[in-house]
């Protein structure tokens, strides 16, 4: 267990990237087998793995299939049904921009444009330096503070195009 905890810290520190597929498999197996609920399902396993390493690597699909005694296609059918699952490692900082109805009416499109322009990307996804992942989110649950964004799950409300530029510039320099 000590080795897996250190591996998790290493993966988290290094943006969840590693070329050691054996280490990923060990982490995935440990994650699947240590779920708290009585019934372990494909979905619970996918959620558990993504929570731990922030994405679903190919090795996880194979290990889930084996653990749950289903085919790889069965696991992929569940994983691909839910659009929030990631299959590639995210950037160091995850920027979620709310574009739900309230935030949209309050100007989230301008926030999106300002953010992607500041980061030099054309749409949601990762920056070339892998420092940021930008995602459009249907609701961050802070409508009274709209428009809002979150950085690594910390919600920031009343955001403006200028504020998002400054925030991203500050985060880029840290």
Does residue 16 carry a pLDDT above 80? no
Q: Is there a domain that residue 88 lies in? A: no
Q: Is there a domain that residue 102 lies in? A: yes
What total of structural domains would you count in the chain?
2
Q: Is there a domain that residue 87 lies in? A: no
Q: Is there a domain that residue 140 lies in? A: yes
Tell me which long-range contacts 119-123 makes (C-beta under 8 A, separation of at least 24). Answer: 119/168
> Which bin fits 60, alpha (ψ -120 to 50), beta or left (φ > 0)?
alpha
68 shares a domain with 111: no
Does residue 24 carry a pLDDT above 60? yes
Predicted structure pTM score: 0.71
Average pLDDT over all residues of the chain: 88
Q: Which domain holds residue 34?
A: 2-81
pLDDT digits (tens, 9 = 90+) for 65-122: 999 999 999 999 999 998 889 999 999 999 999 999 999 999 999 999 999 999 999 9
104 shares a domain with 57: no
Does residue 55 carry a pLDDT above 90? yes
15 shares a domain with 72: yes
46 shares a domain with 26: yes
Residues in the chain: 174
Q: Is there a domain that residue 59 lies in? A: yes
Does residue 5 carry a pLDDT above 60? no
- Flag the least confident range among 35-44, 110-119, 159-168: 35-44
Q: How far is the C-alpha of 168 from the C-alpha of 26, rounded, in Å?
A: 35
CATH of the domain at 147: 3.40.30.10
* pLDDT recorded at residue 116: 97
- Mark which of 30, 58, 81 sits at the end of a domain: 81
- State both tokens at 92: 């160091």
Instruction: Please report which confidence band the pLDDT of residue 20 belongs to, taking 50, 70 and 90 as the band edges.
Output: low
């Amino acid at each position: 267990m000590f080795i897996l905890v250190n591996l998790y810290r290493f993966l988290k520190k290094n943006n969840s990237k590693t070329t050691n597929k054996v280490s990923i498999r060990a982490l995935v197996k440990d994650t699947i087998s240590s779920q708290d609920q009585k019934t372990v399902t494909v979905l619970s396993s996918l959620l558990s793995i993504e929570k731990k390493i922030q994405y679903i690597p190919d090795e996880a699909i194979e290990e889930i299939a084996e653990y749950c005694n289903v085919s790889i296609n069965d696991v992929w059918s569940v994983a691909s049904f839910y659009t929030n699952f990631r299959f590639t490692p995210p950037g160091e900082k995850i920027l979620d921009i709310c574009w739900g109805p309230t935030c949209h009416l309050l100007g989230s499109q301008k926030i999106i444009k300002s953010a992607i322009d500041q980061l030099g990307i054309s749409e949601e996804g990762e920056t070339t330096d892998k420092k940021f992942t930008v995602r459009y989110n249907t609701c961050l649950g802070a409508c009274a503070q709209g428009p809002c964004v979150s950085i690594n799950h910390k919600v920031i409300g009343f955001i403006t195009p200028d504020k998002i530029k400054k925030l991203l510039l500050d985060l880029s320099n840290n």
